Structure 1
């Protein structure tokens, strides 16, 4: 469980101060899905710049210079590769021919070692499963939709990829993990985050003028947004888990990873719920009556809904007693 977030400011109407505030509140809201590391990437004078730290976002000052038109961000919940080695944290940089890019991933990939062998990819000090996506893209001469489609069709697991090219073209690649994208047409601004609650929570703190609409992004779609704001969608075919499930080692790894992630997500909620004014006992109460981590994460973003859920849970347990 991690989170991705960011923006594309294709008209340049929104001030740098407001965009910085937007990224700050997006990153803080995204802590509910990961506190192990925080990072962003942006384009400066045609070059990619990444900044990341093995710290929760509320302890990191995220800077980007005036004139920055697009930022991709990530808050990390570690599953593979220690966050204390900063090279394991997102976003990752890569190159396709003369093009540079940065990539951030939300999810878990299960066939990274297999792909490294099959595709004869070089060894790397980066231990994170997500980095296989960068290596696959680097096999191409261009960072374009066809190259991304090939990569997305090779990896197995859960994913949303966000990819920023050094001409400020932004790609959103939706697998089976959540993603919400808003468009402010009057401002010339796209804003995205892993979940609607993260996005809405941040926008409550940042007053953006103008109406917005949600852009539908379906599983198996690649959304390409150019630096001028043109949006184009294409599709890819996701790998299924058939051969993974019938390989005893991979099947055990897959199921263990899912079990481990679910338990770690509960621990993360218990660790971080106090930031939202909710006690560990109240989170445990919701877990006990059947709420899953995703549902509790949504409730943390809505104080009134959280209070109602806690009261209902208390009433339910009293009735059972």
Structure 2
């Protein structure tokens, strides 16, 4: 703490009024950054900015509103002299089975979780003329948890955004990484993952989360926004406050394949009962195999 590795830097943290966003904002400021504390809850944004003091500015801009995002970035540049880091942390979480989904809830989640990140990245990357860094808050939910299909889809989108944007922004010296944090917040306090144990494990995936406060995650974000992370971009990192891991993305490796002289439905059936049968992949937190792989053709 207090090492000044972010002295002279200005960072926007969205969804910073509580939980992980608050922890990120406080830690970034402790390491020297000026922080725009963004949250649509004015009282919470103001409280966190007050904790930080003179190096913070509260923001109630709605990240799903293009004009509001532009205004937020302009305010950061005007008040702090530039923008060097962005943490796309704002997000909405809800649980619902697919056939019980509320269309309005789906649209709002996509607007905040996905469109908000896209808008913030677009506006921020235009003014990060001297380089910078972006951290996207993805989630382990994207790997497949029951009853969170909408949330999982939005967090999967942030991972894809990270990989593509890292390619586009490298020439501008802007690094882009994604993180999947595991910490106890208001969002995870009653999450299904605290109770549901996968068939392949004796414990729920979020077991022990009550001992993982947001403050333990914050140093990873501070690191990724600092020069200590120079050369690290396009990565997806999982972190629970104790163990950090790189999520592999070997999408273009040599995968199992089958060929046929002429492809028709029968030829595909032969491929998936033949050479591809043993390569069907497990899916979701339960690592559940497709029925054909479990029970045979």
* TM-score, reference length from structure 2: 0.27
Structure having the larger proportion of residues in strand: 1
Please identify which structure carries the higher helix content: 2
**TM-score, with structure 1 as normaliser:** 0.25
Higher-RCO chain (CA-CA 8 Å, sequence separation at least 6): 1
